[in-house]
Structure 1
Amino acid sequence: MQQTVPPPLRPYIIHPYLRRTHTMIKKRIEDDILIVTLENGRDNSITAEFYHELKDIIQEANSKPSPKGIIFTGEGRFFSSGFNLSMFLSFKTPREIADFFSKTEEPVLLDLFMCSKPVIAALNGHTVAGGLILAMACDYRLATPNPKAKYGMSEIKIGLPLAIAQGEIVRFGVADDRNYRDLVYFGKMMDVNEARENRMVDEVVEESELIPRAKQLVSLWIDNPGRAFTPIKRLLRGPLADRIQKGIDELDWEDSLKCFFYDDVRKTLEFVQASLNK
C-alpha cells in the first residue's frame, strides 16, 4: 500500500489584532518526536498567538517525515486553564470575535484533530475548559495520579457556549453522550479517577513516566510499514471532521457568539480573569 499523503491544510487568517509577540510554548525534539510545552504564566492560559504557533506545528508535521509525532504537556501545576479571558474582553465587535473563531481557532483545532501524525496529550496538572478541548483533540491522553489535579469544562458557569469543533471534538472523546451532557451542563471539576471513567483521560502513569510513555505510544503507532497510522486515523476521524467543517462553513458566527457582549457575561469574564491574575 502506498503511503497516504494528507490533504493540504486549509488557509487560516491570523488577524492583526490577534498577533502577539510573546510565545507561550517551548519546543524540543527527542527521538524524532516534537515535545511542545505550554508555558504562559502560572496557569498556561491559551492566547490567540498560540493558534498561530500551533498552525505552524501542524503544517510541519503534515508536510515532512519528521517529526514522527507530537506530545503536548504543560509547565508547572497546569496543563492549561483554557483561554486567556482578557483576549475575549479585548474584542470590540461581534465581527472580530466571529473571525477569531471561524477563521483561526476552529480551523486550527480541527486540523490538530486530523493531524497525520500521532498526537499525545501528557497532562501534567489541571486541565480545564480550552485546555481540556486542546487535550481532547489529541489521539490519546495521559495523566498523573496527582489527586489535586482537576479536569472539566467550566464554560457554562461563565456564560460561554462551545464552538462547533470544540463541542464535537470533546463529544468524540468522552465515553458517551450522557457523559458529554453532564460534562458541559454541570461544569463540574473532576479528579483524575473521574476523568478516566469519563474517557477524558485514557491512562494514568507516574509523573516520571509521563513523557517516556507518550514517546512510547508515538513510536508504537507510527513505526509501522507505510505509516499505516495515517490512513487509519483518517478513517476513524474523517467523517466527523467533514461534518465539523460543514458546520463551520454554514454557521452564522456573529449571531451565535453575541453572548460574548452581554453585560453579565463580560462582568463575569472580568471577575474570573482578575481572580486568576491575583
Structure 2
Amino acid sequence: MAYEMRIEDNIVIFQFKSNKVSSIQLETLKALDQVIDRVNNEEDLKGIILVGTDRYFSGGFDLNEFVSFQGPQEIIDWFKIEEEVLYKLFICSKPVIAAVNGAATAAGMIVACAADYRIAMNHPKIKVGMTEIKLGLSLTPAEAGLMRWGLDTEKNYRDIIFKGDLIPITEAVERGIFDELADSPEELMEKAKAKIVALIDTPGRPFIALKQVHREHHASIIRKGIDEMDWNSLVKVFTDEKVIGTLNMVKGALGI
C-alpha cells in the first residue's frame, strides 16, 4: 500500500509508506484528495497530520512513475491530478500539520510547505530540501506556489530551490522554514495532535476563517497558474532522454 490512513482522536493521520523512501504515488495523491474532502465536510474531524515511515517523511514523487509514462496524455493527466490535489491541500479549511519524521525532499518538502505548522524529528541525519534543479526538473505552478509560501523569504527560496542542496533539519528550523523539533516519534505525534487541537478547538472555530483570509491571495495566484499552465511543457521534460536518464540513475541509487 502506498499510504495508510487512520483516525485518532478525531484527527486524520495520513502516512506516506509506498517504499523505502516513502514516495508519493498517483494513488497516494488520489487518496489524499479524498481525505481533504472528508476533513472539510465532516464536522467531527479536526484536521490532518501528514507523516512518513522510518527514515523518510517523503523522498518525493515516485520516480518509477516519472520514468514510465506511456505517452504525452498520461503525463498531462498525471500532473493535472497532482496540481489539483496540492492546491486543495493548501486551501484545506482545517489545520494540516507536517510531522516530519525523517528526510523531506522534493515533493516531500512541497507537501510539508503546504502545512499550517511543521514539526520535525531532531536527528543529525535528517535533511530537507529540493534537488530538482540538479535533475533537470522545474516546478509546476502549485509546486512553486507552495514552496514560495513555505520558504517564506526570497533568500530561502533562492538558497533551497536554485542551489539544489539539502540542509540539516536544525538549519531549517533556524531559518524559520520548520517550526519546532521533537526528540522522539512519540513526542512528534503528541505535538502534532496538540497543535491541531490548539488551532481548531476554540469557540466557533475561527481558525477556519482566519486561514482562509490568510491564504486566499496566495491561493488565487496558484489557481491562476494552474488554469493557465502550458501542460505540453511537462511533456517536453518527461520525454527528454537526459532527464529520464538522470531520474533512472537516482532511482537506482535510492534502490526503488
Please give the TM-score of this superposition, normalised by the length of structure 2: 0.96
Structure-1 separation of matches of 2:196 and 2:168: 26
- Is the 1:47–1:87 contact (alpha carbons within 8 Å) kept by the matching residues of 2? yes
Structure-1 separation of matches of 2:115 and 2:145: 13
- Structure 1's unaligned 5+ residue stretches are 1-22
- Is the 1:33–1:215 contact (alpha carbons within 8 Å) kept by the matching residues of 2? yes
Structure-2 separation of matches of 1:47 and 1:198: 30
Structure-2 separation of matches of 1:56 and 1:175: 28
Structure-2 separation of matches of 1:185 and 1:64: 40
- CA drift of 1:170 comes to 0.9
Q: What SS does the aligned partner of 2:119 have?
A: strand
- CA drift of 1:214 comes to 0.6
Q: Which residue is 1:62 aligned to?
A: 40
Q: Which residue is 2:253 aligned to?
A: 275
Q: Which residue is 1:201 aligned to?
A: 178
Give runs of aligned pairs for residues 37-186 of structure 1, distance below 5 A.
37-101=15-79, 103-186=80-163
Structure-2 separation of matches of 1:177 and 1:31: 38
Q: Which residue is 2:219 aligned to?
A: 241
The one-letter code of the counterpart of 1:247 is: G
Structure-2 separation of matches of 1:254 and 1:170: 22
- CA drift of 1:256 comes to 4.8
The one-letter code of the counterpart of 1:87 is: E
The one-letter code of the counterpart of 2:123 is: N
Percentage identity across aligned positions? 43
- CA drift of 1:235 comes to 0.4
- Is the 1:29–1:35 contact (alpha carbons within 8 Å) kept by the matching residues of 2? yes
Change (3 A) 1:145 1:183: same
Structure-2 separation of matches of 1:57 and 1:200: 25
Structure-1 separation of matches of 2:130 and 2:219: 22
- CA drift of 1:59 comes to 0.6
- Is the 1:175–1:198 contact (alpha carbons within 8 Å) kept by the matching residues of 2? no
- Is the 2:75–2:234 contact (alpha carbons within 8 Å) kept by the matching residues of 1? no
Residue 187 of structure 1 pairs with residue 164 of structure 2:
yes
Structure-1 separation of matches of 2:61 and 2:237: 16
- Is the 1:95–1:254 contact (alpha carbons within 8 Å) kept by the matching residues of 2? no
- CA drift of 1:255 comes to 2.5
Cα deviation per residue 1:138-169 (whole Å; 9 max; x = unaligned)? 11100111000110101111111111111111
- Is the 1:86–1:273 contact (alpha carbons within 8 Å) kept by the matching residues of 2? yes
Q: What SS does the aligned partner of 2:6 have?
A: strand
Question: Which residue among 164, 171, 190 is the counterpart of 1:212?
Answer: 190
**RMSD value over aligned CA atoms?**
1.3
- Structure 2's unaligned 5+ residue stretches are none
Could you tell which deviates more after superposition, 257-266 or 141-150?
A: 257-266
Structure-1 separation of matches of 2:220 and 2:74: 25
Q: Which residue is 2:232 aligned to?
A: 254
Aligned residues: 255
